[in-house]
Structure 1
Amino acid sequence: MKAVNFYGARDLRLEEIPEPKIKGDTDVIVQVKAAGVCGSDTSKYAKFGPHTVGMTLGHEFAGVVVEVGRGVKNLALGDRVTGCPALFDGEDYFYLKGEFARSDNLHAMSAKVPGCFADFVNMPAQNLVKIPDSLDYQSASMIEPSTVVLHGFYRTSFTVGDDVVIVGAGGSIGLLCIQWARVWGARHIIAIDVDDRKLEMCIQNGADKTINAAKENVLEVLAEYTHGLNADLVIEAAGSAITASQVFAYAKKGGEVLLLGIPYADVHVERFYFEKIMRSELKVLGSWSCVSAPFPGKEWQNSVHFFNKKAIRPELIITHRLPLVKAPDIFNAIVDRTELVGKALLLPEL
């Protein structure tokens, strides 16, 4: 089969490898119909290289079940599924508490086991979530990033009528934050980014106001939008060391800051921004992964439900649909910012 394998920084290769085989009673083989390129994938591609040299990349996907282990009871041949990429090497204190995202044994597919940028993938049955016939594979491949957003939202006290600021709103995670904030009942959704083209996508996805941080004074414009109060909830979705150090200034006194983006760099916070945490008595929340108890969690069930009801519309975010052979090209376009990319999908059957 074809697979996109990761050998080092800026080194992706489309290769022919053996198809995965059933090894355990609860293994399931899925034919991949659509797989999404994640920001964490491109960050590793640009900077760090793979956890395991030569590993098949990718952890966002949807497909169809083509083979099951003899112990699998919840899935059958032909079932349409999406996959939770959270895997565990063992059981520790937090795993046994059902706080799976906090387990030291947590790792994602494509780190130690092959990912989904391939024709087929082997997954544990418990990690596969059925999708209805009315939900297309391309949309369903975005359920995983949706669960990342929902996992973060569940950490907050965000409620109907709150004002929300989303920083780095033009990326796929930021755009999903906008859509979920609308479903959640936000009063005003304010999108911050540095690219006017991405800010236009924010409006298309439901943002009420936009601020271009490269052209405008964010604090002044935000104060104007919110009558000097700022936002009840600020979400850092850019994964930038710069924005992660500044978001505290955008929250209302007594408000919350949710850190969703992964900077992959040291974050240095100037005194002005750090004192906002203290003087404004902010609650700062970290969020990691996409799972809760009972595994894989309500993040998955609710994402499938609201995707299927068209309350969340991934088609507004998807900008590229490409064959596996084009993986290096789209990775370079994202890293080098030569194209406007919302969500890029790899479609093995192309």
Structure 2
Amino acid sequence: MKAALLTEKGFIIKDVQKPRIGKTEALIRVKSVGICGTDLAIYKGTYKFPLPRILGHEIAGEIAEIGSNKSKFNIGDRVTTEINITCGKCYYCMHGLKTHCINRKALGITEDGGFAEYVKVPIINLHKIPDNITYNQATFIEPLAASIQAFRLTPIKEKESFVVVYGTGKMGLLEIQVAKILGAAKVIAIGRSDSQLKLARKLGADVTINSTKEDPIQRVKDETEGLGADITVECTGNPEVINKAIKMTRNRGTVALKSTHGIFVNIDITQIVVREMNLQGSRCGEFPPAIEMLKNKRVKVDSLISAEYSLDKIEEAFQFAMKRGVIKVIIHP
């Protein structure tokens, strides 16, 4: 099969052996796969993992082979897959926290992922894609699930919470929509691209702030009765933003950390202690709520797709994905 392998010198397109599946696995014929911020961090070298590797975990495709005839899935089913490959036996798996599995492996990070014609995944990780969700739209299921998880760990008080979403890339634009669905009193979007901020407003943001044109900290205070946000969701991947997020969040408020920086970040701990604030990390979430939101058209994603590329053009796709104003790039193997 054809695959894009990331090496120390960039991507190479190579014919590699198609994965062989076991009884508990399925082989997906990949139709669409999104470029994630984690993929970009590995590509840039800020998030270190052994190379070469086939990246890609925002996957949508159809089942080409399946190992078990007792499965609820069939060859030809349209599916997406979770990123985490877990043991099902450790403390975290036994307590419903499988994303923290001690023996966790990650599709497209520690294991070969979806930037290839086929990818091997555990059957238990599969989810059917409803008929009214396209393959391109289905690549948003994984990041949307992660967006929902941020507010599961930091719940919104309906019609009370002031929520800031710092960053108007893919994750930020999803967080804005989820915050509105969950009943935030006001959602404030902060970004550096006027076009993305315009889209943020269209997708539900009540206030938009261009941080290159005005002081976002003061503006947030002005919009929140002088107190600051109840919840600030950091979605930029920029280490300098975290301390700004802390400053624009009220005493005893929460800064929800959604970005994977891949590097150490200096944080003003004194602010956290004296103001009794919370820093809440979050990563992957459950797929069913995300699938329902897309199925019921409560979350809009088509306008988030900036470009589509064939697998042969993956190097060009990654270079494009790093440009300011680009939201989501999709690869078609």
TM-score (norm 2): 0.94
Structure 1 residue 307 corresponds to structure 2 residue 306: no
How much does 1:124 deviate? 0.7
Segments of 4+ moved more than 4 angstroms:
none
- Match of 2:240, SS? helix
Q: Within 2, Cα distance between the matches of 1:55 and 1:278?
A: 41
Q: Report the equivalent of 2:280.
A: 285
Q: Within 2, Cα distance between the matches of 1:275 and 1:210?
A: 29
- Match of 1:238, SS? coil
The alpha-carbon distance between structure 1 residues 211 and 149, as it changes in their structure 2 partners (threshold 3 A), is: same
Q: Which of 33, 40, 43 does residue 42 from structure 1 map onto? A: 40
Q: Within 2, Cα distance between the matches of 1:101 and 1:65?
A: 24
The alpha-carbon distance between structure 1 residues 12 and 80, as it changes in their structure 2 partners (threshold 3 A), is: same
Q: Report the equivalent of 1:138.
A: 136
How much does 1:113 deviate? 2.1
- Match of 1:197, SS? helix
Q: Which of 310, 319, 324 does residue 323 from structure 1 map onto? A: 310
Maintained 8 Å contact 1:7/1:50 = no
| CA offset digits 1:174-214 (Å, max 9, x no partner) | 11101111111112111112232322232232211111222
How much does 1:117 deviate? 0.9
Q: Which amino acid is 2:190 matched to?
A: I
Q: Which amino acid is 2:115 matched to?
A: F
Maintained 8 Å contact 1:50/1:111 = no
Maintained 8 Å contact 1:7/1:54 = yes
Q: Within 1, Cα distance between the matches of 2:218 and 2:74?
A: 56
Q: Report the equivalent of 2:13.
A: 14
Aligned length, in residue pairs? 332
Q: Which of 159, 169, 173 does residue 171 from structure 1 map onto? A: 169
- Match of 1:241, SS? coil
Q: Within 1, Cα distance between the matches of 2:278 and 2:258?
A: 14
- Match of 1:56, SS? coil
The alpha-carbon distance between structure 1 residues 157 and 112, as it changes in their structure 2 partners (threshold 3 A), is: closer
Q: Within 2, Cα distance between the matches of 1:229 and 1:48?
A: 35
Structure 1 residue 66 corresponds to structure 2 residue 64: yes
Q: Within 1, Cα distance between the matches of 2:125 and 2:217?
A: 43
Question: Comparing 308-317 with 239-248, which one deviates more in the overlay?
Answer: 239-248
Q: Which amino acid is 1:327 matched to?
A: I
Question: Comparing 303-312 with 216-225, which one deviates more in the overlay?
Answer: 216-225
Q: Within 1, Cα distance between the matches of 2:293 and 2:73?
A: 22
Percent of pairs with identical residues:
30
- Match of 1:115, SS? coil
Q: Report the equivalent of 2:325.
A: 340
Q: Which of 194, 197, 203 does residue 196 from structure 1 map onto? A: 194
Q: Within 2, Cα distance between the matches of 1:72 and 1:27?
A: 12
- Match of 2:299, SS? coil
TM-score (norm 1): 0.89
Q: Which amino acid is 1:77 matched to?
A: I
| CA offset digits 1:151-191 (Å, max 9, x no partner) | 221101213112110112x1111111011111111121111
| CA offset digits 1:300-327 (Å, max 9, x no partner) | 1111111000001111211111111121
Q: Which amino acid is 1:37 matched to?
A: I
- Match of 2:316, SS? helix
Q: Report the equivalent of 2:256.
A: 258
Unaligned runs of 5+ in 1: 291-298
| CA offset digits 1:90-128 (Å, max 9, x no partner) | 743222222122233223112332100111111110000
Maintained 8 Å contact 2:234/2:242 = yes
Q: Which amino acid is 1:6 matched to?
A: L
Question: Comparing 174-183 with 201-210, which one deviates more in the overlay?
Answer: 201-210
Q: Report the equivalent of 2:126.
A: 128
Q: Within 1, Cα distance between the matches of 2:321 and 2:74?
A: 37
Maintained 8 Å contact 2:176/2:200 = yes
Q: Report the equivalent of 1:116.
A: 114
- Match of 1:246, SS? helix
Q: Which amino acid is 1:2 matched to?
A: K
| CA offset digits 1:203-252 (Å, max 9, x no partner) | 23221111122221122211211121221111011122111232111212
Q: Within 2, Cα distance between the matches of 1:49 and 1:55?
A: 13
Question: Comparing 144-153 with 100-109, which one deviates more in the overlay?
Answer: 100-109
